[in-house]
Chains A and B, each alone.
Chain A
Amino acid sequence: MRKLIKNRNVRIALILLAVFAVVQILDTVGFIDGYIMGIIARVCINIILAVSLNLITGFTGQFSLGHAGFMSIGAYTCAIITLRYPTVLGFIIGVIMGALCAAIIGVLVGLPTLRLRGDYLAIATLGMAEIIRILFLNMEITNGAAGLIGIPQFVNWAWLFFFTVGTIIIITNFINSAHGRASISIREDEIAAESMGIHTTRSKVTAFTIGAFFAGIAGALYASYFFFLKPELFGFAKSIDVLVIVVFGGLGSISGSVVAAVLLELISSMLQSLVALRMIIYAVLLVVIMIFRPQGLMGSKEISGIMFKGVRERVQSKVRSVGKGKGGEA
């Protein structure tokens, strides 16, 4: 049993390594140009955004409309730091500081609103993102509406890969822990959860803060890859974009968010040339999908749950035949 679990992790690691190597080689050879790398960067950043929002909305059941706000905090923090310290170390510090600042704002917004039951968070996050945008529009250090130009570009495929995979692993691990179960129980039934000893406010704030933290990372990567920032990039539309990915992929499915981030980016870059029609086609597509698959592409299932189903069933039947199967979770 131990071996099987190990095997499974080894298998996933091998797949990831292969993906990394292939892109890295294609990039080095020059097969991937700036345009394609730009798409890859957007996909990775959107995956981080969607997975972190899914933790808040899909798993914990708290409706947040301000993810772009957290992203912008990460972006500006990282940009301002790397503009002053244009070194890899400066970039790493920028990412960490960006994520931490976003997390701190997350706590400040989350604490007062998440004590209450109901959708106060949606309104509060909506307001927060707007306030942040207006602040950035008027502050000197962010250069107002003109934005920040010439941010040193440190982000490459290796960094994108590292942060994307890292985010997915950490958030998936969180969900599969006692802390994650507490979050999910709140989504399922808040009254039952608190009656079973779950500190609901703390669990909600924790999940929300983790989500904000990773949105900050996504913003930092954005700043350092696309080297240009202006407040308009982080408006309400961007928050909705992320929400669309989450709902489209399936609330409560990490792999759904990943698949949806890839698909939607491909669709929208294919429609790039049809600027006028793009939003319409995009919207129609979403409506159609929501009519035929309202639970999203994956529902709340995970790809690994499907891929490894055979393995799991074999393990389970073995556990059963052994008897009570102590610790026999597959």
Chain B
Amino acid sequence: MPVLKTEGLTKVFGGLTAVLKCNIEINRGELIGLIGPNGAGKTTLFNLLTGITLPTSGTVELEGKKIQGLRPHVICKNGIARTFQNIRLFKDLTVLDNVKIAMNQHVKYGLHSAFFHNRAYRRTEAEIIEKAGDLLNIFNLYEKRDELAKNLPYGEQRQLEIARALATDPILLLLDEPAAGMNPVETAELTELITKIRRDYDLSILLIEHDMSLVMSICERIYVLDYGVVIAEGIPEEIKSNKRVIEAYLGEEVENA
């Protein structure tokens, strides 16, 4: 059974069709790329998968369970976590708090524990801090745990977003342009990190990225979106030589010129 399967997924904004009849399948442990020109509908697809926007039609299945129409927090509990193209950290909170918040759904203590800080509270909080610390260590952010998220350099903010997403304990991780704005050195580090967390956390990953060298080097398969439609799907070599893909990207270059 695939981890994720969409069928006929469509989103229409007023008169604009952002995503049209998308069929996507991701198997356990796969790292899949999602590429396409600006405005192709990639972020919209992520929003559909995570419940931020409701689909006009079509279905989304996570491990065989239909999840379209569910609220975002429920979808998160079911195992999809994401990062945002335009970083959405909890800016005025510390690095540690950002990760702790993402662990909330595993906190079992009730309101009375919150009010009176009893034993259950103290034990659970100690556990959370330890787990969050471990996670931050992987991203080399442990030393900065008490800094405000907004004071981190850009590259580290992107990394913290990934750490925060991992803290929800997902089975499928959606990364929306994680290398955007990074220099080549940072991008190389990020590439390594993505491969590492996929292995260590037994994750499936869907990755939106404009940096073709990154996509081509680590993705096993790639979906290409243009005007909301999947125009190609295949291994990197196939995509590189696909005529429609080249046209879609050339078209963009001509428009941008």
Contact = CB atoms under 8 A, between A and B. Distances in A.
Given A182-B104, A192-B88, A197 B73 contact: yes
Contacts of A194: 52, 71-73, 76
B115 A174 contact: yes
Interface string B75-98: 011000110100011111100110
Contacts of B96: 329
A196 B93 CA distance: 15
Contact of B88 (A191, A200, A316, A325): A191
Contacts of A206: 111
Given A179-B111, A329-B129, A192 B77 contact: no
Contacts of A132: none
Contacts of B165: 196
Contacts of A196: 73, 76, 81, 101-102, 104, 164-165, 167-168
Contacts of A193: 90, 101
Contacts of A329: 96, 125, 129
Contacts, number: 111
Interface string A145-186: 000000000000000000000000010011011111110110
Question: Interface majority SS on B: helix, strand, loop or mixed?
Answer: helix
A195 B72 contact: yes
A143 interface: no
Contact of B90 (A178, A185, A300): A185
A136 to B, nearest CB: 30
A183 to B, nearest CB: 10
Interface residues of A, number: 33
Contacts of B104: 178, 181-182, 196-198
Contact of A181 (B84, B97, B164): B97
Nearest to B132: A329
A324 B90 contact: no
Nearest to B164: A196
A293 interface: no
B137 interface: yes
Nearest to A327: B126
B76 to A, nearest CB: 4
Contacts of A328: 129
A220 to B, nearest CB: 19
A114 B216 CA distance: 45
Contacts of B72: 191, 194-195
A178 B109 contact: yes
B37 interface: no
Contacts of B109: 177-178
Nearest to B108: A178
Contacts of A119: none
Nearest to B165: A196
A177 B77 contact: no
Contact of A188 (B76, B93, B100, B137): B93
A177 B114 contact: yes
B50 interface: yes
Contact of B117 (A177, A195, A200, A300): A177
A326 B142 CA distance: 11
A316 B52 contact: no
A182 B92 contact: no
A250 to B, nearest CB: 13
Interface of B: 50, 52, 71-73, 76-77, 81-82, 84, 88-93, 96-97, 100-102, 104-105, 107, 109, 111, 113-117, 121, 124-126, 128-130, 133, 137, 142, 146, 164-165, 167-168
9 contacts: A174-B114, A174-B115, A178-B109, A184-B93, A189-B90, A192-B84, A195-B82, A300-B92, A329-B129
Given A195-B73, A199-B71, 11 more contacts: A173-B115, A177-B109, A177-B114, A178-B109, A184-B101, A189-B90, A191-B52, A195-B52, A195-B84, A196-B81, A196-B167
